[in-house]
Amino acid sequence: MHKARLLPPAPRRQPDFSLAIVNIVLLLVFFFLITGSLVQQGETEVDLAETSALPLERLPRPLLLIDAAGAMALDGQGVRAEGLAAALGPDRPEALYLLADAGLPADRLLALTTRPDLAGISLRLVTLHMRPAPDGDAPDGGGS
């Protein structure tokens, strides 16, 4: 007679989910690559931020106003870019607030912000809300 040999039961293998996770990650990567390339060029335009209401007398100081032509005024006094550091005085402020015209070319603004004589001063941009002109087409109900 044969004696039946008792073998220990074979250990059950735990399912391996790593292949499924890799497949899901690859599918997500493909999805984002495809959908990211469908964006049209005109859809990525950015509108600059504007504040809703800020009285001019409450603007932070020192305030450097820059018009579209590049002319500057520091707290109401005309100043040139070369004399800006001297106009700030010996006790230089921690921050200089810039209020630039929307039509100012970006290269002029960048040239001002990278001046070595302004090193160590934090430059902060200030925005203003443009109120509509009080003519007959004003959205605030103005008119005759």
- φ/ψ of 41, rounded to 5, equals -60, -40
Residue pLDDT, tens place only, 16-67: 888 889 999 999 998 888 877 665 656 566 666 655 565 667 788 899 988 8
Q: Could you confirm whether domain 56-125 is CATH 1.10.10?
A: no
Q: Give me the residue spans of the domains in the chain.
A: 56-125
* Interval 104-133 mean pLDDT: 81
Of 45 and 93, which is predicted with more confidence? 93
Tokens of 61: 């100081």
Please check whether residue 97 is in contact with residue 59, taking contact to mean a CB–CB distance below 8 angstroms. yes
- Closest Cα partner for 120 from 98, 95, 83, 100? 95
Calpha distance 80→87 (Å, rounded): 9
Biggest CA–CA distance in the chain, Å, is 118
Q: What is the mean pLDDT of residues 79-100?
A: 89
pTM score over 0.85: no
